[in-house]
Amino acid sequence: MKIKIGIVLIPIIFFSLVIGVVLLASVVSVKNDNDNVNYEYVSISADVLKYKPLVEEYCDKYDIKDQINIILAIMMQESGGQGLDPMQASESGYNTRYPRIPNGITDPIYSIEVGVQVWASVWKEAGDLKLALQGYNFGNGYVSWAKSRGGYTPENAKEFSDMMAIQNGWSAYGDILYVEHVMRYLSSGASVGDEEFKKMMEEVLKYQGYPYRFGGETPETSFDCSGLTKWAYNSIGISLPRTAQMQYDSMTHIPLSEAKQGDLLFFKNTYSTSDYITHVGIYVGDNIMYHAGDPIGYENINTDYWQKHFVCAGRIK
């Protein structure tokens, strides 16, 4: 991002140091229980979302009311909500009305009912999201086979695929990356933890007062906005894309009211470019962000300028 110095508030060094000490001393504790995660859907198309009421109806019917978002993510991967068999469920044993061949189902409503039945079956047998997802693609046989080997792994997904391809005389069997492909449409909504946030801030505070440098992404060059956020996240072992727009595209979007320390804040139209997102900063709480302004430092976003350009907060998926 390029910032016009005449518009951006010039940080007062003493105020910035005090704010930094206070914020680092009062980090909000974030629970991150990966064994009991409520996944949210992200980047789901309008073609898929139009079927959400039907998905809700059938999830209720087959007693998996908490799985609606996962079904939507599966549909997004299978078809993007297009075609007559949006859940690609034709070859399932639950399909008793249409030919059990690829795209044999020609009724989207029935496809969704069959797809939900398939998911309910593999989910209840697997009891684990990734194992169940791969089971939706490979069939229930994979679930029992993988459970006897400790559960889902990318390695045993490939092993099972190779084994089944040989048995059936096919060149390939299923999608060995199915879990990864579906998970890109799901988010746990998890923030960075308090220790990670402290480590991140300890790193980027080393560069407080450095000048803004367009294209900068290391301490040797100084930083631009996305270069600084990428450096910050890299310090806690998380790799972000390079530009503000790409970082925005890679994250779950949330309102400022839900933002937690360590989330990113995104802004638009701060300078002339074809990108929608033109600036990004690290949220540290109480309407304060740490960002590559000119110079690098803290900024209160509760001003007319920043509110005018604010888009949303972002959280790692």
Same domain (yes/no): 100, 167: yes
Indicate whether 113 belongs to any domain.
Answer: yes
- The predicted pLDDT at position 208 comes to 96
Same domain (yes/no): 225, 283: yes
Same domain (yes/no): 20, 64: no
More confident residue, 76 or 184: 76
Tokens of 285: 């709480």
Identify residue 262 by its one-letter amino acid code: G
Indicate whether 2 belongs to any domain.
Answer: no
- Average pLDDT on 240-256 reads 93
Indicate whether 290 belongs to any domain.
Answer: yes
Q: Is the pLDDT of residue 27 over 80?
A: no
Same domain (yes/no): 60, 177: yes
Indicate whether 210 belongs to any domain.
Answer: yes
Identify residue 216 by its one-letter amino acid code: G
- The predicted pLDDT at position 43 comes to 72
Binned at pLDDT 50, 70 and 90, residue 263 comes out as very high
Distance from the Cα of residue 80 to its chain's centroid = 18
pLDDT (tens digit per residue) in 95-138: 999 999 999 999 999 999 999 999 999 999 999 999 999 999 99
Q: Which of 143, 165, 187 is the last residue of a domain?
A: 187
- Average pLDDT on 219-229 reads 98
Same domain (yes/no): 196, 248: yes
Q: Is the pLDDT of residue 51 over 90?
A: yes
Q: Is the pLDDT of residue 2 over 60?
A: no
Q: Which of 139, 160, 187 is the last residue of a domain?
A: 187
Indicate whether 114 belongs to any domain.
Answer: yes
Cβ contact 112:51 at 8 Å:
yes
From CA 315, how far away is CA 251, in angstroms rounded? 5
**Which CATH number do you get for residue 68?**
1.10.530.10
Instruction: Report the number of distinct structural domains present in the chain.
Output: 2
Indicate whether 3 belongs to any domain.
Answer: no
**Which CATH number do you get for residue 234?**
3.90.1720.10
- Average pLDDT on 161-174 reads 97
Same domain (yes/no): 51, 182: yes
From CA 17, how far away is CA 309, in angstroms rounded? 26
Q: Is the pLDDT of residue 146 over 50?
A: yes
Binned at pLDDT 50, 70 and 90, residue 22 comes out as very low
Q: Which of 152, 187, 222 is the last residue of a domain?
A: 187
From CA 60, how far away is CA 83, in angstroms rounded? 24
- The predicted pLDDT at position 188 comes to 64
Cβ contact 285:220 at 8 Å:
no
Q: Is the pLDDT of residue 222 over 60?
A: yes
Same domain (yes/no): 56, 158: yes
Same domain (yes/no): 105, 216: no
Same domain (yes/no): 76, 143: yes
% pLDDT > 70, the chain = 86
Indicate whether 220 belongs to any domain.
Answer: yes
Same domain (yes/no): 295, 204: yes
- Average pLDDT on 135-144 reads 97
- The predicted pLDDT at position 313 comes to 95
Same domain (yes/no): 157, 229: no
In which domain, by residue range, is 158 found? 40-187
More confident residue, 198 or 22: 198
Same domain (yes/no): 205, 281: yes
From CA 185, how far away is CA 79, in angstroms rounded? 13
SS3 category, 278: strand
Indicate whether 7 belongs to any domain.
Answer: no
pTM for this model (two decimals): 0.56
Cβ contact 117:71 at 8 Å:
no
- The predicted pLDDT at position 11 comes to 42
